[in-house]
C-alpha cells in the first residue's frame, strides 16, 4: 500500500516535532548563542560546523552546505522516504494519522499507482508459483540450481518463471478481471501490432522481480534459459519503474549497508544473488544502465563507502570515467563537498581476476577472498592512474598519453588537498616533476571558465564529463570568487525575503522576481510569495512545501545566518537591483536595434534610436530617485 499523509497532518507533525530533540538522538549538540552546534553527521570534520536553529526549526552545515528541516534530517540520516520520516515522527510525537478523503485527481493518480503495484505483486506471485510448483517450471528450477542459486535465495528474492507461450499471464489476469489497458501500462503485456489483443512480454524466462526500498515490486527482469536473445529483458519504463533510479536488491541490502557503511555495486541479477547467497548482503545491482546520480543519491542514504565491482579493467575504466562525472554532478546538485574526496566518500573500483565475474568468483573462491580483494581495492583515481600506467608504459610517449588521459579526472577533483595528493602520486608514479603535472592540470582548468567551482549544467547527461556553466553552481556556491555578482544580488534578495517578511509586499509591487536570472532562486522566491509568511520562523514550514532537495538545502543555508534588516536599506537594495536589471535588458534590446540600423545605413532610424537611448538613461535615473525617496 502506498503511504499517503494529508498535508494538514504534515503541519501537525512538524509543529509537534522538535528538531533539536531529533538531531540530538544521533549528534552531540552544544548550545552556541541562539543555536546548537555539533559535528556534522554528513561529512567528516573535527570542528563543529553543523548548526541547528530551534527558532527556525532548521539545520545547516557550514562545512558541507547541506541543510533542511526535521523531515530532511531524518530522510538523510536514517535513509527514510518523506512519508516514512513523517510516519516516524507522527508515532514518536503521538500524532494520529488517518487516511483522508482525496480529490478525484489525487484519487485517480494514487489509485492507478496502487493498481499497478497490485498487478505487479500478483504477477510476481504468479511467476513465483510457476517456478516452484509447475511442471513447466522444472527447466527453470534446474537452470537455477545449475547456477548454484539456493532455495532460500529463490524465496527471499521471490524469483519466478514465465512459461513458454503467448498469454499465460494475460489469461491469469483476464480471469481476475483486470483490464488489459491497465495491464499494458504495467508493461507486462504488449499490444499486438496491426491486430487487436495483447501478448505476454516475458516468455520462457527466469523472472527477477525488482523491489523498491519499501519492498514493493516496481518491475521485472527476465533471463532466457538457453542462448536465445536478448539474454535479459526488463520491464519498460512505467509509472513505477525507472531504471536510472532503481537498484536491484536494494530492499534486502539497505540494512546491511547501513550497518557496514559499505555497499557493493555489481551489474547483473545473478552476480547480485551470488553475493547475497554468500552473506555479502550489502550489495545491489544496476539494471542495464551506468550508475547515475540518482543511484548515488539513493545509496548515500545508506553507505559512504561504495565499491564498484567489474570483471575487467576496461569495464572498470569506462565506468570510473563515467562515475567521476556522476559523483561530480552529485556534488554540484547537493553541495556535498565531501562526495568526491576519496578518503571521505570512499569510492573504490574492484576489478576481479581475468575471466571472472562476481558470480563465478565467489563460487570459486568464497566470500572471504572476495572481501579481502575488496579491502585492497584502489580508490577511483588511484585505479585510473594504475590502469593508465599498465596500458601505456613509462616510455616518454607513454607518459604523455598517461598525462592526457588523467588531466581531466584530476582537474575534476574539487578538494584541493585531495587533488594535491593525487598530483603528487601521479608525478611520483610516472617520474616527472610535480610542477609539470600541476601546470598541465591548471591549463585544463583554465580552458574551462568556471571550472574551479565545478559548475555543471543541470541537464548534463550522466555519462559525459560535466560541462561548465553557471546554472547549477552559482545559487549554492557561497563566497566563492567565481560567483557571478548578479547572482549574489539574487541570493541576497531571497535571504531578505526569508528573514524579513515585511518586505514581501514591496517585492510584489516592484515585480522583483521577474528580473531574476537564476531559476532555482526565482522559483524559491515565488514559493515564498505564494506561502506569504508573516514571521521569519516559518522557514521550516516553507521547506516542507518544496520538493526539490537542492532548493530545500539552499533555503536552509540562506535562512540560517542572521542579518539585521531595515526597510530603508532593503528598498535601496531592491531599487538598485531592479534598475540595473531593467537597464541591462532595455540596453541589450536597444543596442541590437542600433547595430542593425548601422548595418543598414539607416541614418534616420539610427538617430531616433540614439535619442531613445539618451532618454532611457535619464528616465532610469529618475526611477532610481523615486524609489530612494520612498521609505
Ligand atoms: Zn556537513
Provide the 3-class DSSP secondary structure of residue 149: coil
Q: How far is the CA of 497 from the centre of ligand 1 (A)?
A: 25
Q: What is the DSSP letter of 237?
A: P
Most confident range (mean pLDDT) of 215-229, 402-416, 440-454, 455-469 is: 215-229
Provide the 3-class DSSP secondary structure of residue 490: helix
DSSP per position, 47-97: S--EEEETTTTEEEETTT--EEEHHHHHHHHH---HHHHHHHHHHHTT---
Q: How far is the CA of 53 from the centre of ligand 1 (A)?
A: 15
Q: How far is the CA of 138 from the centre of ligand 1 (A)?
A: 54
Indicate the pLDDT class of residue 450, thresholds 50, 70 and 90. Answer: very low
CB-CB contact of 207 with 161 (8 Å): yes
Indicate the pLDDT class of residue 133, thresholds 50, 70 and 90. Answer: very high
Mean pLDDT of 529-549: 84
φ and ψ of 157, to 5 deg: -100, 5
CB-CB contact of 590 with 617 (8 Å): no
Residues 6+ apart with CB under 8 A from 224: 204, 205, 230, 231
CB-CB contact of 351 with 374 (8 Å): no
What the block records as the C-alpha cell of 384 is 585510473
Q: What is the pLDDT of residue 203?
A: 96
CB-CB contact of 229 with 144 (8 Å): no
Q: What is the pLDDT of residue 628?
A: 60
Q: How far is the CA of 22 from the centre of ligand 1 (A)?
A: 17
Q: What is the pLDDT of residue 234?
A: 95
User: pLDDT tens across 300-312, in order?
Assistant: 777 878 999 998 8
Q: How far is the CA of 49 from the centre of ligand 1 (A)?
A: 7
Instruction: Give all strands of the β-sheet with 35-38 in edge-to-edge order.
Output: 30-32, 35-38, 50-53, 58-61, 67-69
The total of other beta-carbon atoms located within 10 Å of residue 240's CB is 22
Q: How far is the CA of 43 from the centre of ligand 1 (A)?
A: 5
Is the pLDDT at 164 greater than 70? The verdict is yes
Q: How far is the CA of 72 from the centre of ligand 1 (A)?
A: 14
Q: How far is the CA of 45 from the centre of ligand 1 (A)?
A: 8
| Half-sphere exposure (Cβ direction) of 517: Cα atoms closer than 13 Å | 18
User: pLDDT tens across 581-600, in order?
Assistant: 887 777 777 777 888 888 88
Mean pLDDT of 78-89: 86
Mean pLDDT of 144-153: 96
What the block records as the C-alpha cell of 24 is 540530538
Alpha helices (runs of H) in 475-566, residue ranges in sequence order: 485-499, 504-509, 519-531, 539-544, 549-560
CA distance 128 to 172: 14
Q: How far is the CA of 42 from the centre of ligand 1 (A)?
A: 5
Q: What is the pLDDT of residue 3?
A: 53
Q: How far is the CA of 64 from the centre of ligand 1 (A)?
A: 4
Q: How far is the CA of 197 from the centre of ligand 1 (A)?
A: 56
Q: How far is the CA of 40 from the centre of ligand 1 (A)?
A: 4
Strand partners, 199: 190
User: pLDDT tens across 30-40, in order?
Assistant: 888 889 999 99
Provide the 3-class DSSP secondary structure of residue 347: strand
CA distance 589 to 260: 59
Q: What is the pLDDT of residue 623?
A: 63
Mean pLDDT of 203-232: 93
User: pLDDT tens across 47-63, in order?
Assistant: 899 999 988 899 999 88
Q: How far is the CA of 51 from the centre of ligand 1 (A)?
A: 9
Indicate the pLDDT class of residue 127, thresholds 50, 70 and 90. Answer: very high
CB-CB contact of 116 with 173 (8 Å): no
Burial group, residue 417, by CB count within 10 angstroms (0-12, 13-18, 19+): exposed
User: pLDDT tens across 385-397, in order?
Assistant: 998 999 899 998 9
Burial group, residue 368, by CB count within 10 angstroms (0-12, 13-18, 19+): exposed
> If you search the block for the grid coordinates 538457453, which residue do you land on?
226
CA distance 191 to 180: 9
Indicate the pLDDT class of residue 274, thresholds 50, 70 and 90. Answer: very high
The total of other beta-carbon atoms located within 10 Å of residue 51's CB is 23
CA distance 599 to 582: 26
CA distance 96 to 5: 11
For the chain, what is the mean pLDDT? 82
Q: Which of 121-125, 374-378, 570-574 has the lowest mean pLDDT?
A: 570-574
Q: How far is the CA of 154 from the centre of ligand 1 (A)?
A: 41
Is the pLDDT at 197 greater than 60? The verdict is yes
CA distance 528 to 501: 9
Amino acid at each position: 500500500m502506498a503511504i499517503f499523509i494529508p498535508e494538514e497532518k504534515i503541519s501537525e507533525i512538524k509543529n509537534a516535532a522538535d528538531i533539536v530533540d531529533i538531531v540530538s538522538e544521533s549528534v552531540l549538540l552544544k548550545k552556541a548563542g541562539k543555536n546548537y552546534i555539533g559535528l556534522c553527521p554528513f561529512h567528516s570534520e573535527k570542528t563543529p560546523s553543523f548548526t541547528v536553529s530551534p527558532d527556525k526549526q532548521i539545520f545547516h552545515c557550514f562545512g558541507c552546505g547541506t541543510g533542511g528541516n526535521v523531515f530532511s534530517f531524518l530522510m538523510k540520516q536514517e535513509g527514510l522516504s518523506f512519508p516514512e520520516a513523517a510516519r516516524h515522527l507522527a508515532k514518536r510525537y503521538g500524532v494520529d494519522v488517518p487516511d483522508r478523503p482525496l480529490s478525484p485527481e489525487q484519487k485517480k493518480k494514487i489509485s492507478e499507482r496502487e493498481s499497478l503495484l497490485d498487478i505487479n505483486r500478483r504477477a510476481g506471485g504468479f511467476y513465483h508459483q510457476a517456478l516452484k510448483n509447475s511442471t513447466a517450471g522444472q527447466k527453470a528450477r534446474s537452470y537455477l540450481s545449475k547456477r548454484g542459486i539456493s532455495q532460500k535465495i529463490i524465496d527471499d528474492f521471490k524469483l519466478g518463471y514465465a512459461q513458454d507461450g503467448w498469454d499465460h499471464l494475460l489469461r491469469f489476469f483476464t480471469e481476475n478481471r483486470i483490464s488489459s489497458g491497465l495491464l499494458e501500462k504495467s508493461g507486462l503485456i504488449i499490444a499486438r501490432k496491426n491486430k487487436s489483443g495483447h501478448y505476454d512480454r516475458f516468455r520462457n524466462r527466469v523472472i527477477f522481480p525488482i523491489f523498491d526500498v519499501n519492498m514493493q515490486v516496481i518491475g521485472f527482469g527476465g533471463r532466457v534459459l538457453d542462448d536465445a536473445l536478448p539474454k535479459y529483458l526488463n520491464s519498460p519504463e512505467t509509472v513505477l519503474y525507472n531504471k536510472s533510479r532503481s537498484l536491484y536488491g536494494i530492499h534486502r541490502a539497505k540494512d546491511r549497508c547501513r550497518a557496514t557503511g559499505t555497499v557493493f555495486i555489481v551489474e547483473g541479477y545473478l552476480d547480485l544473488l551470488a553475493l547475497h547467497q554468500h552473506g555479502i548482503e550489502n550489495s545491489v545491482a544496476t539494471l542495464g544502465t551506468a550508475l547515475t546520480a540518482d543511484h548515488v543519491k539513493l545509496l548515500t542514504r545508506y553507505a559512504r563507502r561504495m565499491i564498484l565491482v567489474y570483471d575487467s579493467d576496461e569495464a572498470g575504466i569506462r565506468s570510473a570515467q563515467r562515475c567521476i562525472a556522476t559523483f561530480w554532478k552529485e556534488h554540484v546538485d547537493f553541495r556535498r563537498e565531501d562526495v568526491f574526496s576519496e578518503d571521505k566518500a570512499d569510492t573504490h573500483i574492484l576489478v576481479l581476476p581475468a575471466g571472472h565475474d562476481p558470480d563465478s568468483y565467489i563460487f570459486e573462491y568464497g566470500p572471504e577472498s572476495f572481501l579481502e580483494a575488496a579491502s585492497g581495492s584502489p580508490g577511483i583515481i588511484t585505479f585510473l592512474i594504475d590502469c593508465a600506467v599498465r596500458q601505456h608504459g613509462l616510455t616518454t610517449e607513454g607518459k604523455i598519453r598517461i598525462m592526457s588521459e588523467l588531466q581531466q579526472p584530476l582537474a575534476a577533483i574539487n578538494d584541493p588537498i585531495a587533488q594535491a595528493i593525487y598530483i603528487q602520486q601521479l608525478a611520483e608514479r610516472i617520474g616527472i616533476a610535480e610542477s609539470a603535472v600541476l601546470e598541465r592540470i591548471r591549463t585544463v582548468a583554465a580552458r574551462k571558465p568556471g571550472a574551479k567551482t565545478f559548475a555543471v549544467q543541470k541537464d548534463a547527461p550522466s555519462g559525459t564529463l560535466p560541462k561548465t556553466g553557471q546554472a547549477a553552481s552559482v545559487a549554492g556556491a557561497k563566497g566563492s570568487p567565481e560567483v557571478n555578482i548578479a547572482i549574489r544580488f539574487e541570493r541576497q534578495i531571497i535571504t531578505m525575503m526569508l528573514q524579513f517578511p515585511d518586505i514581501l509586499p514591496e517585492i510584489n509591487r516592484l515585480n522583483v522576481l521577474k528580473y531574476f536570472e537564476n531559476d532555482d532562486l526565482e522559483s524559491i522566491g515565488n514559493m515564498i510569495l505564494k506561502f506569504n509568511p508573516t514571521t521569519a520562523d516559518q522557514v521550516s514550514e516553507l521547506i516542507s512545501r518544496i520538493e526539490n532537495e537542492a532548493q530545500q538545502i539552499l533555503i536552509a543555508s540562506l535562512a540560517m545566518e542572521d542579518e539585521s534588516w531595515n526597510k530603508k536599506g532593503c528598498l535601496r537594495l531592491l531599487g538598485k537591483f531592479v534598475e540595473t536589471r531593467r537597464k541591462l535588458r532595455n540596453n541589450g534590446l536597444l543596442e541590437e536595434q542600433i547595430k542593425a540600423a548601422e548595418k543598414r545605413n539607416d541614418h534616420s532610424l539610427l538617430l531616433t534610436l540614439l535619442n531613445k537611448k539618451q532618454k532611457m538613461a535619464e528616465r532610469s535615473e529618475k526611477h532610481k530617485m523615486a524609489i530612494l525617496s520612498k521609505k
